[in-house]
Amino acid sequence: MAVSGPRMALAALAALGAAAVFTAPANAAHYGNGIYVSPDAHIAEDGTIHLFGSYHCTAPSPSGAVQIKATVHQKDVRLSIGGGDARCDGAEHDWAAHGTLRFTPGVHAGEALAKAELQEIRFGGGLLPRSVDTVAEDTHPVTVFDHRDR
C-alpha cells in the first residue's frame, strides 16, 4: 500500500513533535529545588497552627516568583496555609507557615499528614497568574501538639 507524499510528511512531522514533547525535561526550573517539613506542628494558645521546615531553590523564571504552601490533613479536615515568598539563591533557608483554626476547628493534637510545597507562580503581564507549578514537595506524618488551655 502506497502512502502519498503529503501524508508521509505529515506523519513524520507528527512523530518528531511527539518525540520532542516526550523527551524534553518537564521544566528545567524544577531541578535543584527541595523542601522539608518538620515532623512537629504546634497549635498556639490563640488557636494558630504553626508548621516549620527548610527549603532550597534556584532562581525562578524572570516572569515568576516562588512561594511556600503548607497543608495539614487530619481525617476529614484539610487546612492549607501560606508560608510566604521563597528566596531562591540555592542556599538552605528556614520557613514557617501560620494559620488560624477559627474556621477549621477540626485540627487537633495528635497525628496528621503535612505537605509542604514550593510553588513557582508565573505572571503573564497582568495581576493574575498565568500558571502555578509545584517545583518541590514533601509529604509525611507529623505530630500536632496543642498548647491551648482547655
Structure confidence by residue, pLDDT tens digits, 29-68: 356 899 999 999 999 999 999 999 999 998 766 667 899 9
Mean pLDDT, rounded, of the chain: 81
Q: Distance between CA atoms of 115 and 30, rounded to whole angstroms?
A: 18
For range 127-131, the mean pLDDT: 75
Q: pLDDT tens-digit profile of 82-95?
A: 889 999 999 999 99
Rounded CA-CA distance 106/17 in Å is 49
Coil, strand or helix at 100: strand
CB atoms within 10 A of CB 33: 21
* pLDDT score for 150: 67
pTM recorded for the entire structure: 0.73
Contact 134, 118 (CB under 8 A): yes
Q: What is the mean pLDDT of residues 126-133?
A: 78
Nearest to 63 by CA among 133, 121, 146, 139: 121
pLDDT value for 15? 41
d(CA 31, CA 112): 29
- The Cα 11–Cα 103 span in angstroms is 56
